[in-house]
Amino acid sequence: MSDSNAGAAGGGAVYGLGILGGWVYFWQQADGFWEYVWAIIQGLLWPAFMVYDAFVALN
């Protein structure tokens, strides 16, 4: 049997690069300590925000 997980690994790499890009983007916009903390959280969760905004736009 052939058990290939190559597709899953590629998706994880793309998601990881997206997280890094999100951190850079949100970090540059932060001014204070709590904004930097929020930038780290936003960097992890930006795909969820994007999907939510897309569903709001479709409604």
Contacts of 20 (CB under 8 A, 6+ apart): 43
pLDDT digits (tens, 9 = 90+) for 20-49: 999 999 999 999 999 999 999 999 998 888
Its sign, for the CA torsion 11, 15, 20, 22, is positive
In the block, which residue shows the tokens 């569903």? 55
Q: Is residue 54's pLDDT more than 90?
A: yes
Q: Is residue 1's pLDDT more than 60?
A: no
Domain extents for the chain? 14-58
Q: Is residue 57's pLDDT more than 90?
A: yes
